[in-house]
Structure 1
Amino acid sequence: MDLAFVLYPKLTALDLIGPYEVLAHQRDVTVRFVAATLDPVTADAGLIITPTATFDEVDRADVIVVPGSGAWPEPLADGAVARWLRKVHPTATWTTSVCTGSTLLAQAGILDGRPATTHWAVREELAQLGAVVSTDRVVRAGNVLTGAGVSAGIDMALTLVGLIWGDDRARFTQLLIEYAPEPPYDSGTPDTAPASVLAMMRAELGT
């Protein structure tokens, strides 16, 4: 099974690495990191990742994973990811995204009229791009899976493992990565964060 993880400047590393750690340990998978060029890509917090193939070299994949970006909406301006997605999505078994990566799927026309989720701060923008926005952490619409903000990429990938390899394999993978979150704070959503923290975040994001 061919897995294509999409790279582009200023992507959010955990959006990529979370699903990678879940999916790359499955049996009989081949992983490619696909980007516009083979030049190293710098994530939004400075991590440098090296592509293994270019968009021109990859015209199909069984599973596509599109991360989001802390520099959103900057990745939309280039359009390179959306152009590639229009080419490869029609023959993919699964097309997935994490966080604001769903806006790149929407830009490619993949989410027109379909339910999808994204980071809470860009739900309105995702709706404007044609998606039917959900507040769920993981949303399936046919062969498209979208995950909410950043850490939801792990949930999305575990969901995908269950769909492809079965629930027991997904449970096995969850145990392998010891994914049993017990955060020290309850501020993971706008509904649970204190008003002062939410206001601080909105000021930081300019929303």
Structure 2
Amino acid sequence: MVDKTTKWTTSVCTGSLLLASAGLLNGRKATSHWRVINLLSDFGAITTRDRVVEQEKYITVAGVSAGIDMALHLSNKLVGEVETKAIQLTIEYDPQPIFNSGNFSNAEEKIKKIAEKKLSKDAKKGLGLLGMIKNSKNILKLNK
């Protein structure tokens, strides 16, 4: 398994479900996209809604936009604060969203319901990651 040779094993968004289903997050804190975060515990991970979660060599981050946060987090570990600040300036990463609804904890219930409908509609278009994870979970049960 590649994980044995990595310095860091990371995931963005629902990628943490892949790490968890492989058993890499068992007993470790992890995060994911808000829509699927509860599935992490099905694979032994300890869920948290933090944007960036580091547990030993494993780093998981929430939704897709948190990927930049993870990149800066890793950069800080590898090259330090000054270089990472220069990288942040180079990519001009200065988020200033027009609304404070980009975090599940801050979003209004009405907004959460609309977002869930949009995600459910898109999920019906194909098997998608969520379907693959559910199927792999069933396959794992059958193989036990």
Report TM bin, short chain: 0.7 to 0.9
Cα deviation for residue 204 of structure 1 reads 2.4
**Going by fraction, where is strand more abundant, 1 or 2?**
1
Residue equivalent to 1:171:
85
Give yes or no for the alignment of 1:182 onto 2:105. Answer: no
Residue equivalent to 1:198:
112
2:45 alignment partner, one of 131, 144, 165: 131
Q: Distance in 2 between matches of 1:191 and 1:137?
A: 11
* Paired residue secondary structure (1:139): strand
Residue equivalent to 1:109:
23
Residue equivalent to 1:92:
6
TM-score (norm: length of structure 1): 0.56
Structure 1 portions without partners, runs of 5+ = 1-86
Give yes or no for the alignment of 1:149 onto 2:59. Answer: no
CA-based RMSD of the aligned residues comes to: 1.4
Cα deviation for residue 166 of structure 1 reads 1.2
Q: Distance in 1 between matches of 2:73 and 2:30?
A: 15
**Going by fraction, where is helix more abundant, 1 or 2?**
2
Structure 2 portions without partners, runs of 5+ = 121-144
Give yes or no for the alignment of 1:119 onto 2:33. Answer: yes
Cα deviation, 1:92-125, whole Å, max 9, x if unaligned, reads 0011100000001111111011111111111110
Give yes or no for the alignment of 1:161 onto 2:75. Answer: yes
Residue equivalent to 1:26:
none
Q: Distance in 1 between matches of 2:39 and 2:118?
A: 17
Cα deviation for residue 159 of structure 1 reads 0.2
